[in-house]
A = this chain, B = another copy of it.
Amino acid sequence: MFELTARDPPSLARAGTLRLAHGEVATPAFVPLATKGSVRTLAPREVAALGYQMVLGNTFHLLLAPGPQLIERFGSLHEFMRWRGPIITDSGGFQVFSMGHGNVADEIKGRGREGVRPGGATARRAGQRARPGPSRGQAGAILQIAERGVRFRSPIDGRELVLEPETSMAVQAALGSDIALTLDECTPFHVTRDYTARSTERTHRWLQRCLRWHERHGPPGQAVYGIVQGGVERDLRLQSAAAVAASGAHGIAVGGTLGREKAQMYEVVGWVTRELERLAPERPRHLLGIGEVDDLIAGVELGIDTFDCAMPTRLARHGVALVPRPAERWRVDLLKSRWRAAAEPVLDGCRCPTCREGFSRAYLHHLLKVGEPTAGRLLTVHNLSFIAALMADLRSAIVAGRLAEAAGALRAGARPGEALRAA
C-alpha cells in the first residue's frame, strides 16, 4: 500500500505514494483535520481543490455524535461527509485521555505526586500547546481506566461510554476509514519514567488487541497504523518502535509527548525514524498532531511521510495567517491593530484564492474585529493553501535530490511554491 519513489540522503526524507482504498496520497503530505466530519468552514470539494488528497476524522468525536451506527448506515464517513478521497481516523485515545489524564496517572501510580499537570492536559500534540482558543467538547470525565480500556462520561450528553481497543477499531470499521489508528495511551510529558514505561507496555498490549480485532472484523482494504509511544526516553522509544514494527501493522504513527521544546521533539522523532529505517523502512510513518511550518520541514527531513494538525485551520479561525516569516514563527496576526489600514494582501504573490482575489489585510482585520464568519473561511483557505504548497515543495525537492537546498530556502523565508527556485 506504500510505494517509496525517492529518497534524498543524507537526510532520512522519502517521497512516495500511499495507495489506499479511496485513492492515492502523494507523500510527504499534510492531512487537514475533519475532526467532526468537516474541515471547518470548507466543503470537501474545496479541500480537494486546495491540493489535499486525505483528511483526518476523529473517532472520539464521531463516536459521541452522530455515532458510528448512523455513519455506517450511509456506507462510510466518506459518503456521509461527501469526501471522495482517503480518510485516516484517529483512535480516540488522545481525546479521551485529554479529558482528565490526572485520573489515569493516579490510577497507575497509586495517587499522583508529580508528573501530571494540574489541569490534566497532555501534550501529545506540540501544535496544541499554542492553541489560541479554548478547547471544545472535552469537558467530559474519565470514570475508570483499566487494562481493559477507558470508561468515561460523554461531554455532550453525560452518557457513560467505553473506549477499549476493540471499541475503537469497531468504530473505525464503521467509519470505513482508509487508515485506522490503534488505541494508545498518550503519555504526558510530566510523568515518571516508570509511568511512561508501564503505559507504553499497555499501549503495546492494546496494539495487539486492535490488530486481532481488525484481522477478524476489519473492513477489507482498511490499513492499520500502530502507534509508537515511550515519551522522551530513548530506550522506551526504541522498544516501542520495535514492538510496532514487529506487530505487522501496515503503517507506524509516532505519538505521545515529544518533549518540552522543538529540539527535543526532533531528537525523539529521529530516534524513532532511524530505528524504523532499520526495522521497517518500507512502511509509511505518520507524525501525530504536528504541523507547524518548521516542524513539517524537520519532520520530512527525519523521514516522516504524513502529518496531521489542527494548527493551520485553527489559527485561521482566530485571525492568524501563515506567511514566510521564520522569525515570526511563520505567522501574522491579522487582528493586530497595525493592519487596520494595510492595503497589502495576506501574502504578496500568493496564489491561494484569498490572496488572488485581492482581499487586503485591512479588510480581513475588519471582518475579524466585527466577528464576520467569512474571515475565518478566507484565512482557512490561505493557510491550507500555504501548507499544501510547502508540502509540494518538499516532495519535489526530494524527487530532485535537493531537499537540503529547498529546506534551507524555506527556513530563510522562501515562499512555499518557490522553494526550489529560491534555492
Contacts and interface: CB of A to CB of B under 8 A. Distances in A.
Interface of A: 36-45, 61, 65-66, 70, 73-74, 80-82, 136-137, 317, 340-341, 343, 353-354, 357-360, 362-363, 365-367, 369-378
A141 to B, nearest CB: 19
A373 B373 contact: yes
Contacts of A137: 370
B366 A40 contact: no
A372 B80 contact: no
Contacts of A41: 41, 373-374, 377
Nearest to A358: B82
Contacts of A377: 41, 43, 373, 377
A126 to B, nearest CB: 25
A70 B341 contact: yes
A340 B66 CA distance: 8
Contact of A367 (B38, B70, B74, B136): B38
A56 B295 CA distance: 44
Contact of A362 (B70, B357, B363, B378): B70
Nearest to A65: B370
Nearest to A41: B373
Given A43-B378, A80-B363, A363-B80, A372 B38 contact: yes
A362 B36 contact: no
A41 B343 CA distance: 22
Contacts of A81: 363
A73 B341 contact: yes
A375 B40 CA distance: 9
A65 B73 CA distance: 48
B363 A82 contact: yes
A376 B374 CA distance: 11
A297 to B, nearest CB: 30
Contact of A45 (B340, B357, B362): B357
Nearest to A73: B341
12 contacts: A36-B372, A37-B363, A38-B374, A40-B374, A43-B353, A43-B357, A43-B377, A65-B369, A65-B370, A70-B362, A82-B363, A137-B370
Contacts of A357: 43-45, 82
Contacts of A372: 36-38, 40
Contacts of A39: 374
